[in-house]
Amino acid sequence: MAKAKEKRERRGTIWSNLRWIHPERTGYGTGVQSLKEKLRYFTYRDDRDVKAPAGGRRWVDHGLGATHREILASCQALTSDDRLAWSVMLSPKPRLMALIEQEPERREFLQNLTEAVVEQWFEARGYVDPAYSYVTHDRSTSEEGLQQLHTHIILPGTVETSAGRERFDNRPTDLREFNELVEDLFELHMDRQLGKEWRTQWAAIQREEALKKYFQEMQVADEVLPTNLPELAEQLHHQGFSVENIPTHITTTDAFHAWLTSLDHDKDDLDMWFGRRGR
C-alpha cells in the first residue's frame, strides 16, 4: 500500500483558497445569483468599504470573458451537474510584497504568478488550455497600512479533456496540493524577482511576528507592544533562542527585557571566563 503523503504546514508566504459554487441555490454562496453578485463585487469593489476606480475594473480574459456578464454567461454554458464555477483567491503576504519596491512591478509580479498558478495547476492535473478570467484587487491592510494586492480567479465547472468537457472536481488532497503549488510558485517567483536574499528577510519577519504574538497573548492588562520589536526579535535570535524558549514565568514586557538582558550578561561572563582560561 502506498504511503500517505504527509500534510505540509503552510509557510505563510501567501494565502490561497479554491472553492466551488453549486449551480442551484443550496445555501449561502451558491446558485447563479450568488455567482452574479460575486462577479459584480469583484468588478466594482476592492473590498466592502472601497470602490474600484471609476469605470469599473478590467478583467484579464483567458477564454472565460472580459466582463462580469461575459464570465457569468460562460460559466452557465460550461457548468456541470453540480459545479457552476470555481472561485480562487491568491493573496501574498503584504510585508513580502512590500519588498518589491515599485508598485507597477508588484502588480506585474502578481499577474505573472496568477497565470503561472492556473496553468501549472491544470498541467499537474493533466488538463490543457484552461479557460479562466481574473481581476487584481488593491486594498490596504488593517495593520501597518500596507498595500494588499491580491487576485480573484474564476474557473468554470468543467474542463477540456481529450474525451471532451468533463466535470472539474477537486478532492481534499487536490486542494492541499493546490495550496502547496501556490506557495512553491510564489517563492520561486520571489527568487527570480529579488534573489534569494528575500528569504533572510522573511525569516526575520517571522521571528518578529512570533514575538509580537507572544506579547499579545500575555494575560496582562494595559500591556503596550514594544516599539522595537524587530530589534528584540533579532536579539533573541542571536542569543540562540526562540519564542518557545521564553520561560513561562515571564508575563510582562519589563520581565522580558530583564530576562533578555540577563542572557547578554551571562554570555559576557562566559566570554570573560573562557578568555581568562585561554591565557
Spell out the SS3 assignment of the chain: CCCCCCCCCCCCCEEEEEEEECCCCCCCCCCHHHHHHHHHHHHHEEECCEECCCCCCCCEEEECCCCHHHHHHHHHHCCCCCCCEEEEEEEECHHHHCCCCCHHHHHHHHHHHHHHHHHHHHHHHCCCCCCEEEEEEEEECCCCCCEEEEEEEEEECEEEECCEEEECCCCHHHHHHHHHHHHHHHHHHHHHHHCCHHHHHHHHHHHHHHHHHHHHCCCCCCCCCCCCHHHHHHHHHHCCCCHHHCCCCCCCHHHHHHHHHHHHHHHHHHHHHHHHHCC
108 and 238 in a single domain? The answer is: no
The predicted structure's pLDDT at residue 195: 97
The whole-angstrom separation of Cα 234 and Cα 72 is: 50
Answer whether residue 200 is part of any domain: no
62 and 191 in a single domain? The answer is: yes
CATH number at residue 173: 3.30.930.30
Answer whether residue 131 is part of any domain: yes
Please list the pLDDT of the chain residue by residue as tens digits (279 residues). 445 556 677 789 999 999 999 999 887 878 999 999 999 999 987 666 666 666 556 899 999 999 999 999 999 999 998 999 999 999 999 999 999 999 999 999 999 999 999 999 999 999 988 999 999 998 777 667 788 999 999 999 999 888 889 999 898 999 999 999 999 999 999 999 999 999 999 999 999 999 988 888 876 555 677 888 899 999 999 889 899 998 888 888 888 888 888 886 655 444 444 444 444
CA torsion sign for 232, 233, 238, 244 is positive
227 and 268 in a single domain? The answer is: yes
Task: Give phi and psi for 45, each to the nearest 5.
Answer: -140, 150
Answer whether residue 6 is part of any domain: no
Boundary residue ending a domain (160, 195, 230): 195
223 and 191 in a single domain? The answer is: no
23 and 77 in a single domain? The answer is: yes
The whole-angstrom separation of Cα 226 and Cα 235 is: 14
Closest CA to 136 of 89, 195, 189, 95: 89
257 and 154 in a single domain? The answer is: no
Boundary residue ending a domain (134, 160, 195): 195
Answer whether residue 5 is part of any domain: no
The predicted structure's pLDDT at residue 199: 97
Query: To 5 degrees, how large is the angle CA 169–CA 173–CA 177?
Result: 95
- Provide CB contacts within 8 A for 192, sequence distance 6+: none
Number of domains in the chain: 2
40 and 154 in a single domain? The answer is: yes
133 and 267 in a single domain? The answer is: no
Task: Give phi and psi for 20, each to the nearest 5.
Answer: -100, 155
45 and 174 in a single domain? The answer is: yes
Answer whether residue 213 is part of any domain: no
Q: Which domain range does residue 249 map to?
A: 219-277
236 and 180 in a single domain? The answer is: no
Which residue matches cell numbers 534573489? 195
58 and 126 in a single domain? The answer is: yes
78 and 138 in a single domain? The answer is: yes
Answer whether residue 132 is part of any domain: yes
The predicted structure's pLDDT at residue 155: 97
What's the distance, CA 197 to chain centroid?
19
Answer whether residue 204 is part of any domain: no
Answer whether residue 187 is part of any domain: yes
The predicted structure's pLDDT at residue 267: 55
Write the CA distances from 60 to 114, 180, 196, integer angstroms: 11, 24, 30
